[in-house]
Amino acid sequence: MTQYTLAAISFTLFALAAAGFLTAGSLVRMLMFLELMLNAANIAFVALGPGTVSRTYAVMLFAIAAAEAGVGLALIIALAPAFKTLEAGNIKELKG
Amino acid sequence: MIITAAIYIFGALAVLATLLMVFQRNPVKAALLMLTALLSTAGLYLALSAQLLALLQIILYAGAIMTLFIVALTVTPAAWRDKPAPALIRRVAGLAAAAVILAELLKLSTALKAVKTSPEFSETGTLEMARLIFGPFVFQFELLSLVILASIVGAVVLTAKKRSAQ
């Protein structure tokens, strides 16, 4: 097994999540795929990085992912009643 | 040997779950597929001898973040998210863009083909990680606590505004 295999796993996950992000219409789904993209980056950190240092950064990435999910979902829940929709394509005005 | 097999199995499971999630229209089923992908990532971490990360993955991602998503799906009315699948051209364009990203990433990392790894079971080195976090990386760690504080304040402000408006 080479490191290329591990990189390929993480890159495939990232690309699939990116495909989902680009084709998803709903804001919640987009945020889900964003989390999966971060997750794939985390796998690359753990699999390819030099031991303990990369794992320490992976732990910090966990915290960033949690913060991002919290703010993102709060934004979506605050946005949805104003626009009466969760579809990114229907939110066109800046001042709702 | 068994660890290499575990890496392949968990990696394939995560890829399969993500692939099914892309084509799943029901948001709750998509969330459950995401849970599968996150749990198989935890298995991948275990196979890579990152036991602490596997535990954190289950507690933080599969526990906390998934709960957040399910709650977000429950508090928003279903009528707002019921919508036919996006236009074919948009889906094809999105998939093509992702394929280009994958091809480029794989092309860039061909140098890694020369680097052999033999994954073996080893202890996670939690003590060394703690020494790193509170030693050389203490600035990043403190910055991170600021990020989390900002996100907590942001989330509370966003939702409290909505409550007072009612």
Q: Is A77 on the interface with B (CB under 8 A)?
A: yes
d(CA A42, CA A40): 5
**pLDDT < 50: residue spans in chain B:** none
Q: How far is A54 from chain B (nearest CA, A)?
A: 10
A20-73 pLDDT, tens per residue?
Answer: 999 887 888 899 999 999 999 999 999 887 778 899 999 999 999 999 999 999
A5-14 per-position pLDDT tens digit = 999 999 999 9
Look-up of token digits 């860039």: B108
Residue type, A58: A
Q: Which two tokens stand for residue A27?
A: 């804001």
Collect all residues of chain B within an 8 Å Cβ-Cβ radius of residue A86: 76, 80-81
* CB of A15 closer than 8 Å to CB of B102: yes
Neighbour count for residue A23 (Cβ, 10 Å): 23
The pLDDT value given to residue B26? 85
Determine the pLDDT at residue B150.
94
| b/e sequence B103-131, b meaning 16+ C-beta within 10 Å | eebbeebeebeeeebebeeeebbeebbee
Specify the pLDDT at position A42.
93
Q: Is B128 an 8 Å CB contact of chain A?
A: yes
- Record the pTM: 0.89
Residue B115: predicted pLDDT: 80
**What confidence score (pLDDT) does residue B103 get?**
92
Q: Which amino acid is at B127?
A: L
Chain B residues closer than 8 Å to A23 by CB:
22, 86, 90-91, 94-95
Q: How far apart are CA B132 and CA B81, in angstroms?
A: 45
Q: What is the pLDDT of residue A88?
A: 77
> In this model, does residue A96 exceed pLDDT 50?
no
CA distances to A8, A9, B8, B114 from A3, rounded to whole Å, are 9, 10, 13, 8
Measuring CA to CA, how many Å separate B19 from each of A13, A74, B61, B89, B110? 9, 27, 19, 19, 24
Nearest to A20 by CA among B53, B147, B101: B101
